Amino acid sequence: MIQFKNVSKKYDNGTHALKDINLTIEKGEFVFVVGSSGAGKSTFLKLMMREEVPSSGTIVVDDIDLTKIKKRDIPKFRRRLGIVFQDFRLIPNMTVFDNVAFAMRVIGTKEKKIGRRVPYVLSLMGLNEKARNFPQELSGGEQQRVALARALANNADIIIADEPTGNVDPQMSYEIVDLLMRLNEAGTTVIMVTHEHSLVRCFDKRVIILDKGNVVSDGGSLVREAATSHINPVSEIEHRYDVPPEEDYSAYTQGTSAQAEEFAVTGGAE
């Protein structure tokens, strides 16, 4: 469970990135976080992973109060999360394989297990052929998928993904969300930030909309919103996306749950 209570974040330069946020994300939930650029989405996630600290308020993740956590407990806390960073954060002098493996080595996984698991998560992302390449040799979309593979490597309880589909084509975007969805079905909490409302619409999940540091809407899936309401809080933003959702994503809306099971069984590091 992730709980934000009266959380505000003001950066040192005076930017008020989040204002009095109150919300709870239950264990096993799937949440989209949307909002325009600069709305505070990344800040929201950074607070959740204890990369930033709030200026006031409290954040509790699985009974750990992030404002009170001891420094030496932070690494252990972060290992519960599978994080896809907006800027990928791949280690430049490590190969794709080692970047993914690193997240597993950090938690002390045996090399033998790493040797089995890494190729598997890379194959999920269609990256097997790039295993020996270095990040700068990859396209933006490929780097993004490596970042995602790394986040999946440890079978984390919570996946926090900051625009994991920002650099890939619509089909790949759909497949990525579909994969996250299947992980979610297997019990993983997923928090995914995205710009793409068209994508969000394909999935009937909770959507938190941030605007200028405030939560302007929380709860309704955009599927329902679109169906039941004339007031679409994001209609204005949505126009900027040149991919009409129905045409690009509807074809992919059938995921196979067999794959999800396989993913969970092939197993991560416990």
Partner 1 sequence: MGNLRYLTKEGFRNLKVNKLMSVASVTVLFSCLMLIGIAFMILVNIQSFISGIEAENVIMVYADLDASDYEYMALGNELNALDNITSVEAVEKEAAYEEILAEMDENLRIYLSGLDENPLPDAYRVTVTDMSRFENVVNEIKKLDGIERVYENSSLAKQLEGIRDSVTYISLGIIILLLIVSLFIISNTIKVTMFSRRLEISIMKSVGATNSFIRWPFMVEGIIIGVIAGILATGAVWAVYEFALTSFTSVLTGLGSGVQVSFLDYALYLVAAFVGIGIFTGIFGSATSIRKYLKERKFVELED
Q: State both tokens at 66.
A: 């992030």
> Does 11 sit near ligand ATP (CB under 6 A)?
yes
The single residue among 7, 21, 32, 40 that binds ligand ATP, judged by CB under 6 A, is: 40
User: Please, which residues bridge with residue 19 across strands?
Assistant: none
Q: How far is the CB of 79 from partner 1 (least distance, A)?
A: 4
Residues touching ligand ATP: how many (CB under 6 A)?
13
Three-state secondary-structure class, residue 186: coil
CA separation for the pair 117, 120 (Å, rounded) = 5
Among the listed residues 116, 86, 7, 99, the one whose alpha carbon sits nearest the alpha carbon of residue 54:
7
CA separation for the pair 7, 46 (Å, rounded) = 13
Three-state secondary-structure class, residue 159: strand
CA separation for the pair 218, 233 (Å, rounded) = 11
Q: How far is the CB of 148 from ligand ATP (least distance, A)?
A: 17
From the list partner 1, Mg ion, ligand ATP, none, pick the one residue 106 interacts with, judged by a Cβ distance below 5 to 8 Å according to partner type. Answer: partner 1
The single residue among 2, 4, 7, 17 that binds ligand ATP, judged by CB under 6 A, is: 17
From the list ligand ATP, Mg ion, partner 1, none, pick the one residue 188 interacts with, judged by a Cβ distance below 5 to 8 Å according to partner type. Answer: none
> Does 91 sit near partner 1 (CB under 8 A)?
yes
The single residue among 42, 144, 184, 189 that binds Mg ion, judged by CB under 5 A, is: 42
Q: What is the DSSP string of 24-48?
A: EE-TT-EEEEEE-TTSSHHHHHHHH
Q: How far is the CB of 13 from ligand ATP (least distance, A)?
A: 5
Per CB under 6 A, contacts with ligand ATP among 168-197 are none
Footprint on this chain of ligand ATP (rule: CB under 6 A): 11, 13, 15, 17, 35, 37-43, 86
